[in-house]
Amino acid sequence: MDFSLEPKYLEIQARARSTAASIAHIAAEADDWSTVHPEILAALRASELSRLMVPAEFGGAFEQVDPLAICVVREALMATCSHLDSLFALQGIGSFAITKAGSAEQRAAWLPRIASADVLAALALTEPDAGSDLKSVTTEVVATAEGLRLNGIKSYISNGGAAGFYEVFAREGEAYSMLLVPADAPGVTVTPTPELIAPHVLGDVRFDNVLLPPESRLGKAGEGLSLVLATLAVFRVSVAGASIGLAQAALEEATRHARTRVQFGRPLSRLGPVAQLLADSWTDIEMARLLTYRAAQMAQRDPGATIEHSSMAKLAASEAAGRVVDRCVQVMGRFGLVRNSKIERLYRQARPMRIYEGASEVLRLGIARELTRIVD
């Protein structure tokens, strides 16, 4: 199988790299923001990269959302600025249920604005007592004569307070539904979350007796869980792409240091233990990249049938990023410990990758479960 990128992906990659380069001078500043940085958002809009997140019918770049294209972009953006990568990724993660199951009116109202990044998207899943175990959510929607009544709290929601709407996963009777909730709907309030080690636009979103029209459901009642899984099937592999970009950036920083830093009469790169750290890191990155591109290509054809491979890629790449960045800090010694240096920033950003969109332990359980199912 040929894993070289087709010309259309190389063009997208070049545009993503150019966009990242255009904001490199403010990347460190933006990565420390817990609210949307206006210059980063302006760069995302100018790049038109958000067009990758919706079908062509609504202003998108391709006929359908393409997981490989998203991986390529996230790899390029994350290498420079996690804030830019996050804003880009959430345009798809927070809107895919609309693409998948929204009514004609919902799609027409929101997807063109997602493509232009005129509005930011958010997917509201997690709660104070519900993380990986989504079936334990307590946010509830009840059908009444007046419409749909929504009550509950969603916590640590990416783009919380910045999004124009929330796709809300809620319990409805004995099943789960997905609702499209405008951010300005009466009863919706947002409070900041505690700041993370790698700052991120986050908020706790409260829904107090929010009244919605019946057509606010995405798909039918009870289809919420399937829409969450459909979103993960397309976008989980993109976390692997971002992890690779982060790891590559760290390796380049450490390699530049090792080539120019002289100890014991020679460059660090020529000292055996340091050379081993660099070689192992490069090998980890290349293995993760090959698995990620293969998983993304498989997801192009049938995301739902290949979610285990997306999980493998996310697991492998995020774990590799943690190992690579740790080695790179070791290579750089005290210079790798300097607060607000690029390598220190990458070190902090690598850790959450093993938790976002499926913690490593949960992914291992799912992968093993599928393996035992298919092996006689």
Report the number of secondary-structure helices (H) and strands (E) in the chain: 12, 9
Q: Residue 205 and residue 157: Cα distance in Å, rounded? A: 7
The alpha carbons of the chain give a radius of gyration, in whole angstroms, of 21
Helical packing angle, 82-93 and 38-47, nearest 10°: 60
Q: Residue 243 and residue 85: Cα distance in Å, rounded? A: 11
List Cα–Cα distances, 35 to 24, 108, 249, in angstroms: 18, 28, 24
List Cα–Cα distances, 326 to 78, 130, 336, 373, in angstroms: 17, 30, 10, 36
Question: What is the number of other CB atoms lying within 10 angstroms of the CB of residue 223?
Answer: 20
**pTM: predicted TM-score of the whole model, two decimal places:** 0.95
Please report the pLDDT score of residue 305 as a whole number. Answer: 83
Residue 268 and residue 331 in contact, taking contact as beta carbons nearer than 8 Å? yes
Q: Which stretches of the chain drop beneath a pLDDT of 70?
A: 1-3, 376
Please report the pLDDT score of residue 375 as a whole number. Answer: 83
Q: Which two tokens stand for residue 98?
A: 């609309």
Question: pLDDT tens, 137-179?
Answer: 999 999 999 999 999 999 999 999 999 999 999 999 999 999 9
Question: pLDDT tens, 170-213?
Answer: 999 999 999 999 999 999 999 999 989 999 999 999 999 999 99
List Cα–Cα distances, 90 to 34, 84, 110, 182, 294, in angstroms: 15, 10, 14, 16, 23
Catalytic choice (75, 127, 223, 357): 357
Domains identified in the chain and CATH numbers: 7-115 (1.10.540.10), 123-222 (2.40.110.10), 225-374 (1.20.140.10)
Pairing of β 165-172 and β 123-124: parallel
Please report the pLDDT score of residue 374 as a whole number. Answer: 83
Nearest to 41 by CA among 124, 118, 146: 118
Q: Residue 300 and residue 153: Cα distance in Å, rounded? A: 34
Could you confirm whether 357 is annotated as catalytic? yes
